[in-house]
Structures are given as C-alpha cells and as structure tokens.
Amino acid sequence: MNSIFFAIILVPAIEIYLLIKIGSQIGAITTIFLIFTTAIVGVYYAKYEGLNTLKSGFIQLKRNEAPTYQMLSGAAIAFAALLLIIPGFVTDIVGFFLIFPLSRKFVFEKILKKKIHDYDNKKKEYIDGEFEELEDIDDDKKI
C-alpha cells in the first residue's frame, strides 16, 4: 500500500519537473506538441500491436494451446497505451518500452525468471516418493 501511495505522489512530481525543465529548453508550444505527438503515435501503435497480439492469440487457440504470452502482452499493451495517454516524458518512455515486442519480451523474461527463481528457492512442503499398494493375502504377513 505504501509503495502505491508513494508512486501516486512521485510520478506526477517527476513528470511536472521534467515538463518544466524541458519546456524551458525547447519552448512551451514545442513541449505541448511533443506530448500530443507521443500520445497519438503511441495509441495508434498500441492499437496495431494489440491487434497483432489478438491475432496471435487466436492462432494459439486454434492449435489448442493456451495463449498465456498473448494475454500478458495484451495487458502490457493496454497499460502502455494508458501510460502514453498520460502527459509526461517518463510515462511515455516506459509506455514505448512496454509497447515494442522485443523490449516487452525482455521485461517478461526478467519478471518470470525472478518468479521462477523465487519458486525454486521456496522450501518444499512435501516429500517426494513412490508407493505401491499391497494386497491383503495373509494377516500374518502385514507390516
């Protein structure tokens, strides 16, 4: 809860700071034009990538395979589109990073590798073994 609250406060503060700094260097009109341009280009590219991901997901379903990667990609693309709509330079950089397939795959590999590593390091709460059922032949031979 504290990290979400911290992010809600910190991200807009960083965005405002960067908008002021970059706006003083390149001008207010150019900064506003740049914000609108990144939002429009980002949303159209998100639409393109989203449709490609949807098509790939349907292909996976036709093969009777679970479209797990496509579902994660779709969620990442939707989040990236949201970040691109929000005015600011940091959110645009993160949004474009998530929207491109190569960088998105890199992020997924890092996250999943960490999750798999965490799972492997967990203490096993079971004992692995085999068993064999014995028939009741004689009461004297029961163990």
- Chain position carrying tokens 């029961």: 142
* Count of Cβ atoms closer than 10 Å to residue 71 Cβ: 13
Q: Which residue has the higher pLDDT, 119 or 111?
A: 111
pLDDT at residue 121, rounded to an integer: 55
The pTM of the full predicted model, rounded to 2 decimals, is: 0.71
Query: Could you report the per-residue pLDDT of 6-51, keeping only the tens digit for each?
Result: 888 899 999 999 999 999 999 999 999 999 999 999 999 999 999 9
Flag the least confident range among 51-65, 81-95, 121-135: 121-135
Q: Answer whether residue 143 shows pLDDT above 60.
A: no
- For residues 99 and 45, is the Cβ–Cβ distance under 8 A? yes
Q: How far apart are CA 13 and CA 52, in angstroms?
A: 35
